[in-house]
Every structure is written in structure tokens, then in C-alpha cells.
Chain A
Amino acid sequence: MIRLAARTLPVFAAIIGFAMALAAYLNFSGVRTAYLDLVRSRAAMIAGDIAADASAAQGFGIRLAEQRTLGELLARQAATDPLILTIDVAGPEGRILFSSAPARIGALETPAGEDPAFRQSEPVIGALGAPVGEVLVRLDGATMDATVAGLRRDVLLGAVPAGLAAVAAGCLLALALLSRLRARARRASAAEHADMIAQAENEMAGFRPSARR
């Protein structure tokens, strides 16, 4: 039976391990997606509100570059949330017109691929319906990554003992089934076992061929 266990254990361990890894990943990715969606949705709401204000002012004929109160609004909004790095309002060519971080004013927006921050933007729509600029909310990507990494570690740590227990339980159950089969076979292989073989033997024992009829 030890040889049998040694043969079945690696296969069961591999299959259960794969299933547990996939299940843990699904759990982790489900919660990560929900977390990122929450952050994205919140950032979109902030950017959307600012863009709506800027668009309304644009509708009144105040060009984006002339909306001087925007800077104060951006600074106030950014201060309410520790995860926000900056909130920028950029013109159509990507140059930052207003920002919660005054040092960024006048600079060109960092391309998305080169910016480690988590970004969410909303367009500022002009009077004729065309975009005249953009509100960009930049969140602290490192903090978010750390939260996601912590989540990954916790789900993984939870999955390892559960997976090991599943491997052990699966192997024990498999061995129990095989042991049961072996015990049945042992009983059935005993000459005196009462089964259909014994019944056939009994029935044959009654045959005493008589003389030719």
C-alpha cells in the first residue's frame, strides 16, 4: 500500500495543487478587480465633477485657460484624499493649465506608459461639443500596488494550508477507496467466500450424472 500511496500521491498533489492555485488566483483577482474598480470609479467621479464644472464655465464663454478658480478647487479636492497624488487640468495639446501641485503647471502631461501613477481622466467638453481639454486624476500607484500585494499574500497564505489539507484528504480518500477494493478482493479470493462462485460450486456439487437414458 505504501507503493500505491507513493504512486498516487504525486498525481493527486499536482492536480489538487493546480486546482487550488487556480481557485486562489480567481479569489484574489476577483477582489483585486473589485478594489481597482472602486478606486477607478471614485477617481472618475472626482474627475467627472471637475470636468462638468469646467465644461459649464466653458459654456458660459470662459475659456479653459481662463478658469482661474480651478486651481483652488483642484488643491481642495486633492487634499481630501491621501491616495490622490495630483489633479491636473490640461489643454487640448496636453500642456497642464492648472494643477493641485503648482510645480506641474506648464509642463506636458506624462504619457500614460511612463507614469507609475494610477490615472483616470475625463474630457472637458467645449460649447460645440468637442473636447477642449482633460481632467486627470493621478493616484498613488505604489500604495495601491502594496494593497494588492498584501491581498495576494493573504489569499495565498490562506490557500496553502487549505491546499495541503485537500491534498492530504484527497490522497487519504483515494487510498481508502483502493484499500476497500483490496479488502473486497482479498475476501473474494478466499476459497470459502460465500459468493456467486460458491453458489456455482454448490449447484455443480449436486450433479451426479446417472446412466445413459
Chain B
Amino acid sequence: MRSLRVRLSAALLAALLAALLSISFETVRRADAVLGPEIERKAATLADSSAALIGKALALGIPPDRLHGLDAHFARLVAENDDVAWIALEGPDGAPIQIVYAPDGERTQTSGVVSRAVPRAEGAPPLAISVGLDPAFARDVVANLWIDLAIVMFVTAVVALELIYVGLGDGLYAAIEGVERRLHNIQRGDLRSHQPVEARGEFGALARALDGRIEKVHAAYAQIRDRAMESGDRAARQALEMLQDRFGLGQMLGTAGAGRVMAVRAPLFVFMLAEELTRPFLPGHVRALAQAAQGEGALAGLDPAFVAALPMMAFLAVVAACQPLLGGVTERLGRRRALALGGAIGLVGYAASAFADGLVPFAALRALTGFGFAMVFVGAQGYVIDSTEPAQRSSGMAVFISAILVAGVCGPPIGGILTDRVGVEGTFLVAGLFAGLSLLLAWLVMPDAGPVRAAGPAIRWREFGRVIASPSLAALFFLCAMPAKIILVAFCFFLVPLQMEALGATQAATGRMLMIYPIVMVLLVPACARLADRWRARAGFVAVGGLLAGASAFALSAGGADDPARIALMLLGLGLGQALSIAALSGLVGDYGRRHAAEVTEASVYGIFRLVERTGNALGPPVAGALLGLYGFADAAMIVGGAVMTCAVVFGLAAAALRPADLDVEGVEG
């Protein structure tokens, strides 16, 4: 289904682009009609204003050729008014006698010229101010929207890709996916049998027809192999083994798994999108609330940047604290009900956040939303585990993780565009609608498996002690996992949005900036994971990734904090570093767990690992807020980056020094 989904999205994108071009050309035409007369009126006012100013100077006896500063005045007017192409002081014949200001030095073709006489004493030669109108103004207004529109189209195509499962339904989706997989495998010469497709309808029938052909080959192969066994013909047996290896005859592919797992993708994606919509504006909004609260005497003495971090910390701390506890709760509730409940809590949390005008109520609502977020996250993760055998767990988790990453790519730019147009309150309401939609999707799309008896808590505290007592696991958790989350949250969720606001960037620009990290992750994580496994160098990837992520902050050195390109470079470096380390880190947890905490189950080791990561998430905002208040953006980022680099170096040295006695990697499948 993967290639078909990509093709469907490409088709959708093509249709949308064509429609968008049509709308934009129509808008340019309409904009000309609406803006044209207004531009002329404004030019007339500009000319009147300048003529009056020059008239006053002339009335004081200053000759027209000694009007010092007039060129600077004209330059300022042209620079400040995008609709003005040039401005000139002209003599009686229309030729410029004194000053012409145009960005390219001469009067260009314009859509019109507005002239006004300069008031002069009687008998003095007449002078006029002429203002040339920029013919491209209306077109530029629409062209400037194209970045936003392109993002809307891109996000739409991605959303279509995510929701295609919902549109087709469980059975049809599985049938189409089954047919496509069979055709793909047959083309590659992979003739292993597939799990049967149960769906009725044409695609189900086609899948079964293909299975029929494949089964016929398998049956023929089995017959020939049996005959060869009976006859004891070694040459034939060897040739048949080669045939079996080439075509996978007599073998069966594992359960697809992904088909059932796909049911959770749409509700998870839509809920995550709701949270991601808030990324560009949240730090600035909370800081404004914090400043208002401090203006009323609350939390006096604390830096506003630190106070602004508190509601963000409330959200992340609730997520961190609830995740270990919610595993059992979502089991008892049933995963579908858990997701629906999380969606409902999110709906209330986001919608109420739109109307919260105080720091404390807002922080409380963020905490409530964090509870809903944790419920959806844990419920979806549990659903993937319930729906897959251990052998398909990785591919199931890939569906889960990619839904979150894709939401991370789509949410911030759309959130920024919405905030610029409908404000923070409107964007919170849209986020609430998305949370409500995730509730609806969970109810419509996910199967109701019903509650099951909880298998016990995911993490037992005595196991926590055992895991932390292992130096290798402790080093991995506290020198790699936790710093990785602190730097991610500090940079992407807190420092960068605030700095972009300080630079006067629009929320849409901030949202585009925040796309850099998830795009790098989506593109590079699979390749980095494969390389780390193939080269058996997970520890190296973790150390180098941490080093690179930390070093990214130094893109801001020497005055780079005010340069959006340097901030983008920092996020690119962070993404590259974390793309290198994230999958290797996760794999290393299992490796170290098996080797150094064998008495603790792998699920517990991973549970503790996730808890440490979430704690890092929760620490990110207060650490960044405190440093921002004390040292400013660039230094705060470089201190966090430097600390992450130090942790990575210490981990790398420890990994090298203790290898293979303690920190070596074993059991990495090639």
C-alpha cells in the first residue's frame, strides 16, 4: 500500500496545485481591482504630504536645489511603502529637476503616476511631486502567500496519506494492500505464501486468485521435492534448494500486522497534530500570560522566561508521570476507549485553553491536556503491542512513530499560519477540534477489543533500582537519553519560538522553522538505524549523534542569534545529530538490558528508559527558561549544547574504555 498511498498523495497534490493556481490567478485579478484605487489614494496622500513639506521649506527661502535631506526622505518613503516604485520632485515640463528616488536609480514602468503641485510663492516656477505606483504590488501580495499555500498543499497531501485508511475502511484497505504486496513480491521473484485476505469484494477476490497461483507453484514444488527425496537424487535436491532460496518456495510470510496496526494511525496522528499546532505560539503566549501575572504581583522576583516555562513543564511532567501508570489503565479500559477518552480530554483541554486568561488556569489546563495526551499515547502504543507478535513489533512501532513524526512535520507550519490569521485563541479551538476528531476516528476505525485484565505495572520500583545500578545503563540513560530530550524540548519547543518572536518573525515563519527538525528525522532516521546496525556501531552512533546535536548550538556563536539562517542551521544540526542517535539509542537499551540487567524484563528496561526520556522532556522548559532569563538566547542554547556535548564525550570515552567488558554491544543483528 505504501507506493499506492504515495501515488494517491501525489495525484491529490497535483489536483490541489492546479486548483490553487486557478484560485491565485483569480485572486490577483480581484486584488488589482480592490487595491488599485486604494493605492492611488494613498499615493495622492503621500504626494500631498511631501508637497506640503517641501512647500514649507521653500517658503522659508531655501532654494529647490538646496533641499538637503530630501533624498533620504524620499528613500524612506519608498522603503516604507511597498506599493510605491519611485518618487520625484519635478519641474514644469515634467522632467526631474531635483531629486528622483528609485531603488534601481531610475523611474521604472509603473501602473500609474500621481502628481501634486508643491505650494509656492506667486510667480515662482511651479514644482510637483510625482509618485510612481508599483505595478507588481497586487501580484506580490498574492505571491507572498505562496509559501504558506505550498505548505497547506503539502500538509494536505500528507494528511490524505494518513487518512486513506479511514476512507477505504479496514477490509478494503487490507485487500488493496494485499494485492499490491503480492504483485510487488511476484515482480521481485519472491513467491512466498501470504496470509489470506479475508475481505470480500473485487480486490479480495484478486488477492485470493494470486494466492491460488502461488499455492499452485508451492504444491508443484512440494511434489517435485518429495519425489527427489524419494529418489535420493542429490543433484536434484541441491537444485531444488537453490530454487527454494531464489523464490521462497515452501515458505510463508509472517502476519502482516501493519493492517491491524494501521487502525490506530489516523486517531493518533490527528491528536498529535492538535498538540503540534500549538508549538509555534505556545512559549510566547505563556510568556505574555506570565508577564501579566507578574504585573499583578504573582511570582514576583522570578524571571518571566522561567515563569513561562512552568505551564509547559506542567504538560510534560504530567505526560512523564502518567505514562508508567496509564499502561494498566488503558488495558483495563480497552485501547479504543482509552484513545477516545484521551481525545475527549484533549478536546476540553485545548478548547478551554483558548479562554484561559490567567497563568494558573492555563497551567492547569495544560496539565489536563497532558493527561489526555498521555492517555492517547499510551493507549496507541498498547494497541500496537496488542496487535502485533513480537516479530512484527518493530514494524508496528514504526507505524506508531512515523504518525507522530509526520504530525511533527505538519503541525507547526499549519499552527503558525492559523495563529497569524485567527490568533492564539482560534488556533487552540482548531486544536480542540482535531482532538475531538481523533476521538471520533478512534471510535469509528479502531476495533473494540474490550477491556482486558491488566498484566501488572509496566515498571516496578525495585526493577528501577536494578537497572540504574548498572553503570552502562545508567550512563546510557543519564548521559544520552535524558540530555537528548532536554536539548530537543529546550530548542524546538521553547527557545527557538521565543527567539523568532523576539526577531519579529510571523508565527508562520516560526512554524516553518520548526519543520526542519522533524523533516530531518523523518528522512534520515531509517537510514541511520540501518547503518548503525550494519556497522555494529550503536554506541558510536549515540556518542557522535549527541556530540553533533550539542555542537549545533554553536551555530549561534558570534552574533548568530539574530540570524534566522543560523537558527535554522542549529535545528538542522540538532536533527542530524538526533537522527544518528535516536534509533541506535533505543537499540542499545535492549542490548545493555539483556547484558547488564538480565533479571529485569526487557519491557521494564524500556519502560524505565521511556520514563527517563519523559523526565528529560519535562526538565527541558525549566532548564531553558532559567538559562534564557540569566544569559539570553544564544548563551542559553550554547550552555545546553555544551552540556550535551560533554555528556556525549563522557559516554563515548566510557564506551571505548570499558569495551568489551562492560559497555560493549552484543547481539546486534546484522
Contacts and interface: CB of A to CB of B under 8 A. Distances in A.
Interface of A: 1, 3-4, 7-8, 10-12, 15-16, 18-20, 22-31, 34-35, 38-39, 41-42, 45-46, 48-49, 80-81, 83, 147, 150-151, 154-155, 158-159, 162-163, 165-167, 169-170, 173-174, 176-178, 181-182, 184-186, 188-189, 191, 195-197, 199-201, 203-204, 207, 209-213
A177 B4 contact: yes
A1 to B, nearest CB: 8
B220 A31 contact: no
Contact of A31 (B34, B187, B209, B421): B34
Nearest to B173: A7
Interface in B219-248: 220-221, 224, 227-228, 230-236, 239-240, 243, 247
B344 to A, nearest CB: 22
B16 interface: yes
B274 interface: no
Q: Residue among B83, B169, B206, B230 with the most chain A CB within 10 A? A: B206
Given A31-B142, A34-B31, A35-B38, A209 B233 contact: yes
Closest 7 pairs (CB-CB, A-B): A11-B167, A189-B209, A173-B11, A212-B232, A166-B19, A158-B26, A19-B156
Q: Residue among A11, A20, A204 with the most chain B CB within 10 A? A: A204
Q: Residue among A4, A19, A154 with the most chain B CB within 10 A? A: A19
B203 A182 contact: yes
Contacts of B83: 38
26 contacts: A22-B152, A23-B149, A23-B153, A26-B145, A29-B421, A38-B42, A42-B42, A45-B46, A48-B49, A83-B41, A158-B26, A170-B12, A173-B11, A174-B8, A177-B11, A181-B179, A185-B203, A185-B209, A189-B212, A189-B213, A196-B191, A197-B191, A200-B247, A203-B243, A209-B231, A213-B232
Contacts of A158: 22-23, 26-27, 30
Given A11-B163, A178-B176, A16 B168 contact: no
Interface in B126-180: 137-138, 141-142, 144-145, 148-149, 152-153, 156, 159-160, 163-164, 166-169, 172, 176, 179-180
Contact of A210 (B152, B172, B216, B236): B236
A20 B665 CA distance: 52
Interface string B168-209: 110010001001101100111101000000000111001101
Given A8-B168, A197-B191, A200-B191, A27 B142 contact: yes
Given A151-B30, A184-B183, A204 B221 contact: yes
A197 B248 CA distance: 11
A188 B210 contact: yes
B22 A27 contact: no
Contacts of B251: none
B230 to A, nearest CB: 8
Contacts of A191: 213
A30 B145 contact: yes
Given A23-B23, A177-B4, A182-B202, A16 B228 contact: no
Contacts of A34: 31, 35, 137-138, 141
B39 A38 contact: yes
Interface string B1-35: 00010011001101110111011101100110011
B256 interface: no
A26 B148 contact: yes
A19 B160 CA distance: 11
A83 B38 CA distance: 10
Given A30-B27, A46-B45, A162-B19, 10 more contacts: A12-B167, A15-B160, A30-B141, A46-B49, A178-B176, A181-B179, A186-B206, A201-B220, A207-B240, A209-B228
B81 interface: yes
Interface of chain A: mostly helix, strand, loop or mixed: helix
Given A12-B160, A45-B49, A49-B52, A173 B15 contact: yes
B318 interface: no
Contacts of A29: 421
Nearest to A157: B26
Interface of B: 4, 7-8, 11-12, 14-16, 18-20, 22-24, 26-27, 30-31, 34-35, 38-39, 41-42, 45-46, 48-49, 52, 81, 83, 137-138, 141-142, 144-145, 148-149, 152-153, 156, 159-160, 163-164, 166-169, 172, 176, 179-180, 182-183, 186-189, 191, 201-203, 206-207, 209-210, 212-214, 216-217, 220-221, 224, 227-228, 230-236, 239-240, 243, 247, 249, 417, 421
A38 B38 contact: yes
Given A204-B221, A207-B236, A23 B20 contact: yes
A188 B110 CA distance: 64
Nearest to B211: A189
Contacts of A19: 16, 152-153, 156
Q: Residue among A12, A38, A169, A177 with the most chain B CB within 10 A? A: A38
Nearest to B42: A42
Contact of A27 (B27, B191, B224, B249): B27
A162 B23 CA distance: 7
A207 B38 CA distance: 87
Given A166-B15, A173-B11, A10 B23 contact: no
A212 B160 contact: no
Contacts of B221: 200, 204
Contacts of B216: 201
B262 to A, nearest CB: 15
A162 B149 CA distance: 15
A35 B240 CA distance: 78
